[in-house]
Amino acid sequence: MMTFERFEELTYELASQLPEEFFRKLDGGVMAREGVVIHPAAKENDLLVMGEYHRTPHLGRFVVLYYGSFMQAYGYLDEEGIKKEMWRVLRHEFLHHLESLAGENSLEIEDAVRIAAYRRAHSEG
């Protein structure tokens, strides 16, 4: 199983592959955290948060990837497989950042539609 230290290294390695201009106003940068994060809409602890983009008055703007969530969802994969999933999530979170800078919220709407579909699927039957 991948260690947290290796996950953190890969987080920074992947972030370094993004264009420098993507980091404009991302004053808190990119980080890895150890925990498993369950989405508040989860019905059976089955909706993991893999990463988040934050904009807060006190901490600024930053991106987080959650090691525990990745290990719970993808721990069976080899390092290359986990890295591919990390890359996918990192780009998703950076898209939130770029849309925020542009005054857009299309991805937030798309995420909300997915959560609504999850809620519908879990309220049936």
What digits encode the pLDDT tens for the residues 101-115? 999 999 999 999 999
Which among 40, 38, 47 is positioned nearest to 121, based on CA atoms?
47
The structural domain count of the chain equals 1
CATH of the domain at 97: 3.30.2010.20
Residues of the chain with pLDDT under 70: 124-125
Residue-level length of the chain: 125
Strand 51-56 relative to strand 48-49, pairing? unpaired
Q: What is the per-residue pLDDT for 42?
A: 94
Judged on CB neighbours under 10 Å (0-12, 13-18, 19+), 123 is exposed
17-28 pLDDT tens trace: 999 999 999 999
Give the angle 71-63-2 at the CA atoms, nearest 5°: 20
The token duo for 98 is 């770029």
Which range of residues forms the domain containing residue 70?
A: 4-123
pTM (two decimals): 0.94
pLDDT score of 123: 86
Rounded to the nearest 10 degrees, how much is the dihedral formed by the CA atoms of 103, 108, 109, 111? 160
Please say whether the beta carbons of 71 and 35 come within 8 A.
no
